[in-house]
Structure 1
Amino acid sequence: MLTELLIRNLAVIDEVQVPFQPGFNVLTGETGAGKSIIIHALSFLVGERGDPDLIRTGADTLLVEAVFDLGTCPQVRAVIAELGVELDDDTLIVARELHRSGRSRCRLNGRAATLAMLRLIGKAVLDIHGQHEHQSLLDPANHLRFLDAFGGETVTALKERYIALYRQLQQVERELTDLQRSERERIQRLDLLRYQADEIDRANLRDGEEEELVQERQRLVNAERIAERIGRAVDRLTGDGGALDALGDALHALKEVADFDPALQAWHETLMQTMDSAQEVAFALERYARTLEFDPDRLEEVESRLDLLRRLKRKYGDNIAAILRYRSEITRELERLESSEEHLERLQQERDRLRAVLAEVARELSEARHDAAERMAKAVQAHLKALMMERAKFKVAINHLPDPDGLPLPDGTVAFGRDGVDRVEFLIATNPGEPLKPLAKIASGGELARTMLALKASLPRTHEIPVLVFDEVDVGIGGRTAEAVGEKLREVARYAQVLCVTHLPQIAALADWHLQVRKVDDGQRSRVVVTPLHGDARVQEVARMLSGKQVTPTSLQHARELLQRAARATAAARGG
């Protein structure tokens, strides 16, 4: 419910804080006092376009801020949660500012928000009805939702089953579309992968091969230089006067004195080991030199193989191991692509099965809706009768749209969507002899307001919107009709908070919470004051509404009687 509304610098309002209560709230006051500005402030708060010209003269910014208690509104809390807004003790504070530049700023519980977020919340928490405003009940797009709410558990269960099947069908059709759309791409991909697999397989790669080839290439390219350097090294070791001769002389010299000192004996042994190692190196170098041969044919083979590896690396990976991993990936993708034809057939069979089941559930859901439509039409018509529209006719029209690609039903193949196959629209004829017309085409403001009220009264327990706002609900009515409208508003207020701007005392007297809106002139500027009325103050206001500006003893007495009668009627309606 709406607990408080703050308005600052909007039209003639400098600053006003409006408290609201559960149940039936009315705003009364003389014409031009600013009652409709308060309703306009609510519309602005939940996303209506803001006009900088509405900012009070001398101010730069207008502000509207509302406090909602969502303790009994789980469906609204769910919307809030989806938007990522945290609630503090089920309290939601919605604020919107408008600057003269046209720039708007929105906040939810003190955090920055977008105008789109405010509109989403507005649709969930507020339903505002003016004389010719296109609100939820005027928009045929919403009529199906109201009919389903009226239909109760039977319709709800069928709709949930239908939606689950519809989502499954959508998923299957998306997969089918992707497969069919990409068939040419699939064939092209198969050709490419097969070519790549063949190219890699023909290369007969071996991990570590590249390093071995690089080393072999080095030997082949430098064979002559290596042989020349090895020859020189062997000559320095084994030639006359070479290292081995020098080591032999050194050994002979040490041997002559080794017996004189154990240390000399150890060095003699070390030198012998060195000489053995030098001889071994010399022999090994000679053997290696005999294997060296410059082979241009082998060099060409090695160069060609390395070039192939470089090309494969550019295409498939940084090294042979990476190329071999990619080859494994090719195998897996080929298996998937080659099996997609079977997958396509399975999906087509699943699609046909789901469409058949969906068509049957859609038929059952449509039948349940037709039954609910008849009951709803009778309920609304009964409320219209109570609202002094005895001769009005109301109908819930359900139609199907032919579609050759739709679902097969007894009346043909029809279009279908997330909510089923039914196109629902509320129709009404307010006078005898008139054809049934859409709600939006009702000419009389009073008839429109009462029709809205009858619809609301028909959906009290299932209605999802916790705050209902009626502006000019009393247009063109009076007397007993006004009392009937007030009683119906009070009835609706048992299940939702109702805010109503009214000029009629019969309606105001039935309210649970009465707010008076006055325009005060201090001699320089006008401002708006909102005052909760109790006791004698409320009697005075109802008397003014009865007689005009001049309140008389008779009008005061009439006001007391009206309020007492309303109190008794309210107590009786509530069982007490």
Structure 2
Amino acid sequence: MLTELSIRDFAIIDHISITFKEGLTVLTGETGAGKSIIIDAIQLLSGGRGSVEFVRHGAKKAEIEGLFTVEADHPIHSKTEQFGVDISEDGMVVLNRAITHQGKSICRVNGKLVTLGILKEFGRALIDIHSQHETQSLMDPERHIELLDLFASSEMKSSMQEYRRVYEKYRTLVNRYKELSENEQEMAQRLDLLEFQLHELQEAELQPKEDEELSEERTKLNNYEKIYQGIHDAYYSLYGEQKGLDWLSHAMTSLESTGDFDDSLAKMSEELSNSYYLIEELTFQLSSQMENLEFDPERLNQIESRLNELNRLKKKYGADVEEMLEYASRIEEEIDEIKNKDSRLANMESQIDELGQDAVLEAKDLHDIRKHVSELLAGYIHDELKDLYLEKAAFDVDISIKEGKQSDPVLDGKPVRLQSNGFDHVKFLITTNPGEPLREIHKVASGGEMSRIMLALKRIFSRHQGVTSVIFDEVDTGVSGRVAQAIAEKIYGISEGSQVLCISHLPQVAAMADTHVRIEKRVDNDRTYTGVSELSHQEKADELSRMITGAELTETTLEHARELLEMAHKHKLNK
């Protein structure tokens, strides 16, 4: 849920900080007070298009920051891993967006600078904004297949995974086939390049880890004097009259004579004796090292020359010798593939046909599942519309198969176009008037009907979308009476599964609020300011009374407001 929202120097807002709670929060206030500006700020926070016009006059930048708390199983966790954003153990995500007076946009997620595109990815997973005049995913035909699959997620999960596994293999093979077959001139040039590279790598006679071994040998030769002097000093500190070993031998002999009288001294004598012979062996090794150590300037020149050659090749073929050897192996396979292109293409055609038909069978499973769940969805939507006094409305899900090209895989003798989610094209169709044909949902005309249709769809899909906060910006425009009450109850129903923030002019919706926030505008020293305040129960009644009459409070309107609050309370108790 959206826990805290901070807005600074945004439009007419100088600085406000709003704490949001679970359930349904309704924001009300007079026209122009800044209600929709708050929604604009949240849209920017979720990756919406910014403008220098949003920066408050005289300020250097506008800044919006939102604190969200998410559960351990929320989809946002996959995005934090994908984009390398750290998330705290208590599931807190902070989105931050700043727009400078020069029009520059700065985005952060949990303090990490991100692109606007990445901020939008996080915003989509956390916030779902709906407004009366906005084209939204529920009304976008291109998104209907996603929504249907979301509704059918439990039934489709395993089938979708299997389809995508086969589809990815199919697409990879098709793309490789195109590369091999489409451009003879490019392929010939590619072959020349690869053969040159392979020849250069083979001429180099690379040996595994030779760059590391040569670098180590070069270090030794470059530091010959230091190494020799160190071994020399160590050896002559240990070996010779009155040197380390001589004194250790004297100590060993002295301690041996005490061992008969004290067991602990006998043990110490044995340890000293062992140490003496170890150091004596080390002395022999130092002597051997000193005798074998020699400085060979010619060898150093050879090493430098070879390392220079390896570094030249690394710039072209890999970070180390192992990567260059792997690259040589890969291009050798590609050369063989190009030289034997015709036989390879024939083999790939057979594999493509086989994988294509496998993918079609998997896509057919998805198609059948969608057909089944679409009937369930239509029933649920019809029930929701009936509650919203659109009982004569008819809803259907049209699922058609996308037609493919002649070279595409076939189903029942007809080519089909495979995509990442199968071969289906899904459209939501509706009619609100008996006798009228079903039409695409975004072509339904009436604003009031559109509000109710959108709420019906949202009521169903909010259970599956997993977003943290659902925001409605005056979606109840154009309705009144019993429809207004039905809309209020639907919005409240959505808040039972997701946090809902709602800007409304309907007293029925405001009465249903778990938290009621009033937005007010004031003028101070010729500057406009916006403020927010959470209303008490009595203040709610006063605000509802103003929403009913739009004028002075009267006992009649106050009584009506109290009645609305009581009705809302009873509705919640009966849920």
Give the TM-score normalised by structure 2.
0.71
Report the counterpart of residue 52 of structure 1 in structure 2: 52
1:490-529 CA distances to partner (integer Å, 9 max, x unpaired)?
1111211111111111111112221111112335322111
In structure 1, the partner of 2:347 is 346
In structure 2, relative to structure 1, the CA distance for the partners of 1:474 and 1:172 (3 Å cut) is same
**Equivalence for 2:141:** 140
Q: CA deviation at 1:418?
A: 1.0
After superposition, where does 1:223-372 map in structure 2 within 5 Å?
342-372=343-373
1:418-437 aligned within 5 A:
418-437=420-439
Partner residue of 1:554 out of 529, 534, 556: 556
Letter in 2 for 1:5: L
1:522 corresponds to which of 508, 524, 527? 524
Aligned to 1:383: 384
Deviation digits for residues 293-344 of structure 1, max 9, x if unmatched?
Answer: xxxxxxxxxxxxxxxxxxxxxxxx9xxxxxxx9xx99999886666665544
Tell me, yes or no, if structure 1 residue 415 matches structure 2 residue 407: no
Query: Once the 2 structures are TM-superposed, how far is the Cα of residue 465 of structure 1 from its aligned partner?
Result: 2.2
| In 1: Cα distance, 2:539 partner to 2:196 partner | 93
- Measured in 2, the distance between the counterparts of 1:196 and 1:37 equals 60
- On the 8 A contact 2:180/2:338 being kept in 1, the answer is no
Shift of 1:30: 1.7
The residue type paired with residue 429 of structure 2 is L
What per-residue deviation string (whole Å, max 9, x for no partner) do you get for residues 390-423 of structure 1? 2222221112232223332237222121111101
Change in Cα spacing, 1:398 to 1:411, as seen in structure 2 (3 Å) is farther
Aligned counterpart, 1:259: none
Larger CA deviation: 134-143 vs 149-158: 149-158
For 2:335 and 2:436, locate their aligned partners in 1 and report how far apart those are by CA, in whole Å. Answer: 69
Secondary structure of 1:74's counterpart equals coil
User: Is the 8 Å Cα contact of residues 516 and 535 (structure 2) preserved in structure 1?
Assistant: yes
Secondary structure class of the residue paired with 1:391: coil
Q: Which residue of 1 aligns with 2:124?
A: 123
Tell me the CA shift for residue 470 of structure 1: 0.8
Question: 1: CA distance between counterparts of 2:110 and 2:392?
Answer: 48
Match of 1:511 in 2: 513
Aligned residue for 2:442?
440
After superposition, what is the alpha-carbon deviation per residue over 1:240-259, rounded to whole angstroms, capped at 9, x for unaligned? xxxxxxxxxxxxxxxxxxxx
The answer on whether the counterparts of 2:30 and 2:520 sit within 8 Å (CA) in structure 1 is: yes
Query: Does the Cα contact within 8 Å between 2:74 and 2:466 map onto a contact in 1?
Result: no
CA contact (8 A) 1:392 1:432 kept: yes
Instruction: Check 1:340–1:490 CA distance in 2 against 1; reply closer, same or farther (3 A cut).
Output: same
Tell me the residue number matched to 1:15.
15
* Aligned-partner SS, 1:373: helix
Match of 2:110 in 1: 109
What's the CA shift string for 1:138-172, capped at 9, x where partnerless? Answer: 22221111101222433222222111110111122
Amino acid at match of 1:439: I
CA distance in 2, matches of 1:168, 1:27: 51
> Which consecutive residues of structure 2, in runs of 5 or more, have no partner in the other structure?
199-312, 314-324
1:77 partner letter? H
CA distance in 2, matches of 1:505, 1:377: 31
The answer as to whether partners of 2:11 and 2:55 remain within 8 angstroms in 1 is: yes
Preserved CA contact (<8 Å) 1:504 1:545? yes
What residue number does 2:87 align with? 87
Aligned to 2:177: 176
Given candidates 557, 566, 569, the residue that maps to 2:568 is 566
Distance change (3 Å), C-alpha of 1:411 and 1:173: closer
- Mapped contact 1:148–1:156 kept (Cα < 8 A): no
Q: Normalising to structure 1: TM-score of the pair?
A: 0.71
Cα separation, partners in 2 of 1:335 and 1:148, compared to 1, 3 Å:
closer
Kindly tell me the number of residue pairs found equivalent between the two proteins.
446
Identify if the C-alpha distance between structure 1 residues 155 and 556 changes in structure 2 by more than 3 Å, giving closer, same or farther. Answer: same
| 3-state DSSP of counterpart to 1:560 | helix
Contact 1:405 1:415 in 2 (8 A): no
Q: Which amino acid aligns with 1:513?
A: T
Is the 2:353–2:409 contact (alpha carbons within 8 Å) kept by the matching residues of 1? no
Q: Describe how 1:199-218 pairs up with structure 2 within 5 A.
A: none
The DSSP-based 3-state class of the residue aligned with 1:406 is: coil
Match of 1:66 in 2: 66
Q: Is the 8 A contact 1:106 1:118 kept in 2?
A: yes
Q: Counterparts of 1:44 and 1:32 in 2: how far apart (Å)?
A: 19
Measured in 2, the distance between the counterparts of 1:195 and 1:103 equals 47
| CA distance 1:185–1:441, shift in 2 (3 Å) | closer
User: Following the alignment from structure 1 to structure 2, what is the Cα–Cα distance between the partners of residues 48 and 194?
Assistant: 50
For the residues of structure 2 that align with 1:132 and 1:431, how far apart are their CA atoms?
Answer: 23
Partner residue, 2:464: 462
What amino acid maps onto 2:449 in structure 1? E
Residue identity (%): 38
Residue 35 of structure 1 is matched in structure 2 by 35
Change (3 A) 1:468 1:73: farther
In the aligned structure 1, how far is the partner of 2:514 from the partner of 2:502? Answer: 11
Q: Secondary structure at the match of 1:16?
A: strand
User: For residues 548 and 176 of structure 1, do their structure 2 counterparts lie closer, same or farther at Cα, with a shift above 3 Å needed?
Assistant: same
Amino acid at match of 2:33: A
Deviates more, 1:90-99 or 1:175-184: 175-184
8 Å Cα contact 1:132-1:445 kept in structure 2: no
- What SS does structure 2 have at the residue aligned with 1:462? helix
Report the RMSD for the aligned CA atoms in angstroms. Answer: 3.1
Q: 1:73 to 1:169 in 2, by over 3 A?
A: same
Q: 1:192 to 1:148 in 2, by over 3 A?
A: closer
CA contact (8 A) 1:127 1:135 kept: no
State whether residues 144 and 428 of structure 2, in contact with CA within 8 Å, keep that contact through their aligned partners in structure 1. yes
User: Aligned partner of 1:368: which letter?
Assistant: I
Counterpart contact for 1:66–1:95, Cα < 8 Å: yes
Aligned-residue offset at 1:36: 0.8
Letter in 1 for 2:30: E
Question: Which ranges of structure 1 fall in alignment gaps of 5 or more residues?
Answer: 198-316, 318-324
1:39 deviation in Å?
Answer: 0.7
1:334–1:148 CA distance, 2 compared to 1 (3 A): closer
Q: Deviations over 1:257-309 (max 9, x none)?
A: xxxxxxxxxxxxxxxxxxxxxxxxxxxxxxxxxxxxxxxxxxxxxxxxxxxxx
Distance 1:522 1:170, change over 3 A: same
